[in-house]
Amino acid sequence: MSDSPSPPSISLDTASASASAPPSAARTPATTSSSTIAGGPSAGSSPSLSSSSSYLGSMWTGLVRRFSSDDTQFGSQLDQSHPHHHHPHHLEAKDGINGAFTPAVRRASPFRPPPLDPLVLHGYRNGTARSARLLTSAVAEEIRAMVPERLRIAEDWRLAYSLEQDGASLATLYLKCRHYEGRRVGFVLVVKDQEGGTFGAYLSEYPRPSPSYFGNGECFLWRASTLASLPPPPSAETTHLRRSTTLAPPPRSADGSGASTPSESIRFKAFPYSGLNDCYINCETGFLSVGSGGGHYGLWLDDSLDVGHSSCCETFGNEPLSDAGEKFGVLGVELWVLGA
């Protein structure tokens, strides 16, 4: 027994290599081959065969370890290439809850609406004196810029009532406005006082006797004054000098309506709805008023259209419309309808 040859050292190395391999490698052909070499009949074979077996066992063990590490690296790369598999919140929109809200970038459209056509004032009779025509095209264009968009594109304004043509009666004004009941139109009230000033209001509904206030926030008060232009300097060439207002396009009228004198300019002021109260329009058989609050009316006219009042009111936060003071004498009244 003592003379029997000892097992080759290669078998121990191969066994140790097999033992150090991962559990998945224990079932591979490399383990089977090394076991056969270590415990089989070839245990007493030549050293060259033992070296070959050791080389094959080491090669199989290296391949198993390499493929195991490659699988791990491939799995990590797959996770990085598809982060939404483990982090679905990365694709959620940043709506202020899942992240800081980032509004979309909006660019202004290069397209612009075409310019509006000049207004045409209809309704003046041929026999109506030019001095009795209260509304000019220049003032009408300024009012047009303040009315709602649906009525701004309308280029035809029609005279519904005129003190000069229909008589001084508030009842007549109410009667002529009843034709527009239920229609989405607007009304421009024009008043001329004893000082020659022109002012008025925009009404979102037709004026009529009512037990309470009516209208909406589209209503506003306005006033306009005419300013004489400065004379040209003595050194300027004035032979063919012509000047028109810079606040409106040249007037166009279908029936000889009022127009601004070429040498005059217009100062226009508008007083839109302030939001402090809802006292837009209040009409009774004895008066017509627009705006109120604090015991004052923005604009008030009596039933004979002879006397008026105008003070600062909460509805529009306006200044007195007449240069004559809070109480003024009325020289003319007109009511124009828009969008009819």
And the tokens for 317? 């936060």
The predicted pLDDT at position 226 comes to 79
**Would 101 be classed as within a structural domain?**
no
Please tell me whether residues 173 and 256 are part of one structural domain: yes
Please tell me whether residues 281 and 158 are part of one structural domain: yes
Find out whether 244 and 204 touch, Cβ atoms under 8 Å.
no
**Would 110 be classed as within a structural domain?**
no
Task: Specify the pTM.
Answer: 0.61
pLDDT beneath 70: ranges in the chain: 1-55, 63-96, 228-264
Please tell me whether residues 252 and 142 are part of one structural domain: yes
Q: How many CB atoms lie within 10 A of CB 63?
A: 13
Find out whether 188 and 202 touch, Cβ atoms under 8 Å.
yes
**Would 104 be classed as within a structural domain?**
no
Please tell me whether residues 55 and 172 are part of one structural domain: no
Please tell me whether residues 41 and 128 are part of one structural domain: no
Distance CA 166, CA 318 (A): 30
**Would 162 be classed as within a structural domain?**
yes
Distance CA 280, CA 216 (A): 6
**Would 19 be classed as within a structural domain?**
yes
The predicted pLDDT at position 2 comes to 43
Q: Which domain holds residue 29?
A: 9-87
Q: What is the DSSP string of 13-55?
A: HHHHHHHHS-GGGGGSHHHHHHHHHHHSGGGGS-HHHHHHHHH
The predicted pLDDT at position 133 comes to 95
Please tell me whether residues 79 and 168 are part of one structural domain: no
Which uninterrupted H or E stretch holds 333?
strand 327-338
Number of domains in the chain: 2
